[in-house]
Structure 1
Amino acid sequence: MTLDARARDADLVAALARGERAAAFDQLVQRYTPRLYRLSWLLLRDSARAEDAVQDSLLRAWRALDGYDATRGALSTWLYTITRHHCLAQLGRPALDTLSLDEPDGEALAATLAQPAAGPTDARATLQALIDTLPETPRACLQLFYWEDRSVAEVAAQLGLPDNTVKTHLHRARARLRQALADQGLDDPALWL
């Protein structure tokens, strides 16, 4: 069960309210650096750029910490938003790309997913390779929802998408992965237990 984002950071918000800015920020850095790195890597797909983005985002958060308003949203959502905006600015584009199977590129993606994976023979490595072939937004939704154990609402807030759009991306990504695994003979549940 996912813990509510506001409850998860209640101690940090309380420390900020008491004027313990430096101590609260230190705890925030310890708690969120790995998560911010994963978000940055999902968006930038480069470890060095992701590390730089985390540092820049934390610096921006430190500078804006006095302006954080707990009534407007969870501390983690505020921090993820800063990081997301910074990463998108690094990419030089205003929004994440989306791809539909109805578009010509969508059919090419489906054909690519249906082909056997070129390298990995391990089922989990094959799954990761298939996930890596997904378009950016569905891949980010899957990884945040399953690997980060985020709720649909939290994923939506982090990626700046409506909840129903996140649900659609998750549904379509799971269907693509399920089909690609079946095409490779890896749909036997015993392989994953």
Structure 2
Amino acid sequence: MTLDTQVFVVATPTYENEGWVADLAAGGPPGVLAQRRLHRLLVGAARRQVWRLRDLLPGAGPGDLEDLAQQAADEALVTVLRKLDDFQGRSLFSTWAYKFGVFQAGVEVRRQAWRSREVTLPDQLTALDRGPSPADVAEASDLARALEDAIATSLSPHQRRVVLALLVDDVPIDVLAERLGSTRNALYKTLHDARARLRRSLVTQGYLDPPDDERSKSS
């Protein structure tokens, strides 16, 4: 069997949904055994996704990719156990859990890809290349200009840098938190507040409808 075929092998659990949930929630040997089986499933999911995204990590060898897959599986296992009560049985448990492995692998690859990259924190949005402005895109072009103005005038410098890094430059939030000496929760709060300010600005300028509660007050 070649390496390329090996990395796509995924452990197939024999449990039914109820067996997975019951054993994972149990303590003692049944719980430990269930977690080991789940971890094998998640390693397979993460390994497949890591190899699918390997072009994002030039220079990474098979050992590096395997380390990322194992890290992703470890994180995904913690997440699945934490969200066990959220499983509603609408799909196979293995299918539901598999998605966490795939998602976490994507997070780990993107995080690793940014490790050696410089995170620039621009204070303003680079002008968008709108190209030709035919009538059918004139309204969208006008909205884009209004959004640029709102980012420049309605946000604090910190909010502006966070918005541009996360939403425009697509910097992973874990990486940005590390570079800024902050936390994920703090950056989520900053992003939430910034979005609220941008929405208010666009509502004031007539580009967005006000929330229902505000419309009811004015009527």
Instruction: State the TM-score, normalized to the length of structure 2.
Output: 0.35
Ranked by relative contact order (alpha carbons within 8 Å, sequence separation 6 or more), the top structure is: 1
Give the structure with higher Rg (CA). Answer: 2
